[in-house]
Structure 1
Amino acid sequence: MASDHQGPRGPLARLRRGHEELVLRLLRTHGPLSRAELGKLSGLSRTTLYDIVVALMDGGAVVATAPAPAERRRGRPVETLSLHPGAGQVIGIDFARRAVHVAAVNVAHEVIGSASEAHSAGLGWEARVDLAERLVARLAGGALRLGALSGIGVGVVGPVDDLTADAEDAPRPGAPQHRAPGTPARTDLPLLLRKRFGVPVLVDNNTRLAALAEATWGAAAGVQDVLYLRLSHGVGGGLVTGGTLHRGAHGLSGEFGHITAEPDGRRCSCGKDGCLETVASIGAVLEAHGAGAPDLPAFLAALPDDAAAARVLTTVGTRVGTVLAAVCNAVGPDVTVLGGELAEAGPVLFTAVERALLAHLMPISRSRADLRAATLGEAGGALGAIALVLHESPLLDRYPAPDSLE
Structure 2
Amino acid sequence: MLCGMQSHDGPLARLRRGHEELVLDLLRKHGRLSRGELGTHSRLSRTTLYDIVGGLLASGAVVASASAPDAAPRKRGRPVETLTLNPEAGQAIGIDFARRGVHVAAANVAHEIVGSASEPHAADLTWAERTDIAQRLVRSLTGGALQFGALSAIGVGVVGPLTDPGGEAAYSRDIDGLPELLHKRFGVPVLLDNNTRLAALAESVWGAAAGDEDVVYLRLSHGVGGGLVVGGSLHRGAYGLSGEFGHITVDTAGAPCECGGVGCLETVASVGAVLDSYRAAGGRADDIAALLAALDSGDPAARDVLRAAGSQVGTVLAAVCNAVGPGVIVIGGELAAAGAALTGPVEEALNAHILPLSRHRLDLRQATLGEVGGALGGIRLVLREFSVLSR
TM-score by length of 2: 0.81
1:236 deviates by 0.4
- Whole-Å Cα distance in 2 between the matches of residues 248 and 59 of structure 1? 31
- Secondary structure of the corresponding residue to residue 195 of structure 1: helix
- In the other structure, the counterpart of 2:336 is 343
How many correspondences in the alignment?
355
Partners of 1:55 and 1:284 lie apart in 2 by 52
Structure 1: runs of 5 or more not aligned: 1-17, 68-79, 171-185, 400-406
Query: Secondary structure at the residue paired with 2:152?
Result: strand
Q: Distance in 1 between matches of 2:168 and 2:295?
A: 41
Aligned match of 2:21: 25
C-alpha spacing 1:41/1:160, structure 2 compared with 1 (3 Å): farther
Structure 2 residue 251 is matched with structure 1 residue 256 = no
Q: Is the 8 A contact 1:320 1:353 kept in 2?
A: yes
Identity %: 62
Pair 1:21–1:313, CA change in 2 (3 A): closer
Q: In terms of mean alpha carbon deviation, does 49-58 or 24-33 score higher?
A: 49-58
Give the distance between the partners of 1:215 and 1:143, measured in 2 at CA. 29
Where do 4+ consecutive residues of structure 1 move more than 4 Å?
A: 18-23, 27-31, 35-41, 45-61, 63-67, 140-144, 146-149, 162-170
User: Within 2, Cα distance between the matches of 1:331 and 1:167?
Assistant: 25
- Correspondence for 2:76: none
Name stretches of at least 5 consecutive residues in structure 2 with no aligned partner.
1-13, 69-81
Matches within 5 A, 1:2-401: 24-28=20-24, 32-34=28-30, 42-44=42-44, 61-62=61-62, 82-142=84-144, 144-145=146-147, 150-161=152-163, 162=165, 186-290=175-279, 291-304=283-296, 305-393=298-386, 395-397=387-389
Deviation string 1:24-67 (CA, Å, 9 cap, x unpaired) is 42254677122599557632369996998699779964358999
Whether the 8 Å contact between 1:93 and 1:382 is mirrored in structure 2 is yes
**Structure 1 residue identity aligned to 2:385:** E
Q: Deviations over 1:69-118 (max 9, x none)?
A: xxxxxxxxxxx965201112111111111111111111111111111111
Residue type of the alignment partner of 1:201: V
1:31–1:109: 8 Å Cα contact kept in structure 2? no
- Separation in 2, partners of 1:37, 1:227: 33
Q: Deviations over 1:179-201 (max 9, x none)?
A: xxxxxxx2111111111111111
Partner SS state of residue 104, structure 1? strand
1:285 is displaced (CA, Å) by: 0.7
Contact 2:200 2:227 in 1 (8 A): yes
Equivalent pair of 1:337/1:371 in contact (CA under 8 Å): yes
TM-score (norm 1): 0.78
Q: 1:54 to 1:169 in 2, by over 3 A?
A: closer
**CA gap 1:48/1:198 in 2 versus in 1, 3 angstroms:** closer
- The alpha-carbon distance between structure 1 residues 371 and 21, as it changes in their structure 2 partners (threshold 3 A), is closer
Cα distance in structure 1, aligned partners of 2:215 and 2:250: 22
SS of equivalent residue, structure 1 residue 86: coil
1 or 2, which has the higher helix percentage?
1
Q: Per-residue CA shift, 1:339-366, capped at 9, x if unaligned?
A: 1110011111111111111110011111
Question: Is the 2:292–2:338 contact (alpha carbons within 8 Å) kept by the matching residues of 1?
Answer: yes
